[in-house]
Amino acid sequence: MSKYDIIVLGSGPGGYVTAIRASQLGFKTAIIEKENLGGICLNWGCIPTKALLKSAQVFEYLKHAGDYGLTVKDFDKDFDAVIKRSRGVADGMSKGIEFLMKKNKIDVINGFGKLKPGKKVDVDGTEYSADNIIIATGARSRELPSLPQDGKKVIGYREAMSLPKQPKKMIVVGSGAIGVEFAYFYNSMGTEVTVVEYLPNVVPVEDEEVSKQLERSFKKSGIKIMTSAEVTSVDTSGKGVKATVKTKKGEEVLEADIILSAVGIKSNIENIGLEDVGIVIDRDKIIVNDFYQTNIPGYYAIGDVTPGQALAHVASAEGILCVEKLAGQHVEALDYGNIPGCTYCSPEIASVGLTEKQAKEKGLDIKVGKFPFSASGKASAGGNKDGFVKVIFDAKYGEWLGCHMIGAGVTDMIAEAVLGRKLETTGHEVLKAVHPHPTMSEAVMEAVADAYDEVIHL
């Protein structure tokens, strides 16, 4: 039986990062993966979707070339080529993880791993043991009883990335990050898209003003939005699919070629031996302490199988903290109140901290500032004037409580707010930090100036 210091079960952005950091810290490390290195994120999630969205963005630019004084003739999309490019990007990234495993001398064990008592893992009949086992098995598309996925007419995000033929009509159920990103992609490619959201606002975890702006932008681009709506049943017996949607006005039947179910994720905790070991779970999540120890010594869990935010960067951060703690380093518990969220539709969305509503519900006295990209020179020059930056500060102490952005490239801007909040920056310090002009990022400074009644360009 092979013996290791650390075995990591799952090689997504939580698992492979954990394994690399463990190896860097001197631990003899192995990683177990049943499919492709990189997990869902690199193969069927974060990375290939961004490749699809880039193709959509380029296609949008071509359609609006005249707005930039350019004449482009005889252009069209090749849906198969777009999908092929996305898969090629994913394959390249997965091969990159293979290289990193070899570079860091991490043993890769291919197969389905099942936990055993006594700090062991069975992989398709072969047992391995370790002083510490870290569970990083991730999640998959969640299925609703009223919306069973058949992989053909009712699909999840995985199938949405590799359809053999572009649908003429698509219904997207759920308007979280996955739903709105695919809604934007398929709409840009020419598919007629309807988004059905159960809650009153699209992207419901975001600040309400951000939600309303995205709804306006989507409607302007031709996407139909149905909020406070629920798909109660689907009929796949005909050529396409029919969805019965319950709204405040009554029931409506929508017809489409395909329904994309984007109603959340389900943790991959079945059949991996949790019950055999005695690891406690609650509502689909493995219960862990601040440094990811389960109730059974020597067994840890990180990423989407634990109660924190189901985001790739969260899983990576958790894994690094977990093994650094095991190595005896002094580490601080992760601040889950300062985790950025990013959505890569167009316009992009990025946020961190409290929304205005949440701050008010806490009874805080706040200052709110907002700067529209319509007043930004860089946004005007780039032809991307939709959206804004919104900031929320504590009125008494100047603490940066939240930052919410919607617009072109904002997912690359949110880190300023994350770092500022980590360093306990005040509003006046942000305001006095000179921001370059012309940039999209100076909208952060302008929004802060608006909060303190010092805005210049509005």
**C-alpha span between 192 and 231 (Å, rounded):** 18
Say if residue 102's pLDDT is above 90.
yes
> Which SS3 state, helix, strand or coil, does residue 218 take?
helix
Degrees to nearest 5, angle at CA 176 with 174 and 182: 80
For residue 418, how far is the Cα from the chain centroid?
16
**C-alpha span between 343 and 389 (Å, rounded):** 15
> Which SS3 state, helix, strand or coil, does residue 286 take?
strand
**C-alpha span between 260 and 159 (Å, rounded):** 9
Q: 402, 380 in Cβ contact below 8 A?
A: no
Mean pLDDT, rounded, for 91-106: 94
DSSP secondary structure letters along 244-274: EEEETTEEEEEEESEEEE-S-EEE--TTSSH
Residue 1's pLDDT is 66
Say if residue 112's pLDDT is above 70.
yes
**C-alpha span between 20 and 31 (Å, rounded):** 10
Residue 40's pLDDT is 85
Residue 43's pLDDT is 87
Residue 98's pLDDT is 94
**C-alpha span between 27 and 230 (Å, rounded):** 50
> Which SS3 state, helix, strand or coil, does residue 2 take?
strand
- The structure's pTM equals 0.94
Q: 445, 433 in Cβ contact below 8 A?
A: yes
CA distances from 131 to 6, 7, 25, 125, 286 (A): 6, 8, 15, 20, 20
Query: Cβ contacts of residue 267 below 8 Å, gap of 6+?
Result: 137, 138, 139, 284, 285, 286, 304, 305
* pLDDT tens digits along 341-393: 999 999 999 999 999 999 999 999 999 999 999 999 999 999 999 999 999 99
Catalytic residue among 330, 428, 435, 437: 437
Sole residue written with tokens 């980590």? 422
**C-alpha span between 359 and 224 (Å, rounded):** 31
437 is catalytic: yes
**C-alpha span between 55 and 334 (Å, rounded):** 35
Kindly indicate the confidence band of residue 33, based on its pLDDT and cuts at 50, 70 and 90. Answer: very high
Please give the single-letter amino acid code of residue 155. Answer: I
**C-alpha span between 365 and 361 (Å, rounded):** 10
Residue 2's pLDDT is 86
Mean pLDDT, rounded, for 59-85: 94
**C-alpha span between 76 and 119 (Å, rounded):** 56
Residue 168's pLDDT is 97
Minimal CA–CA distance to 347: which of 209, 194, 140? Answer: 209
In order of their start, the domains of the chain are 2-141+266-336 (3.50.50.60), 159-263 (3.50.50.60), 347-451 (3.30.390.30)
**C-alpha span between 19 and 102 (Å, rounded):** 12
DSSP state for residue 77 in the 8-state scheme: -
Take residue 60 and report the two structure tokens written for it: 């949008």
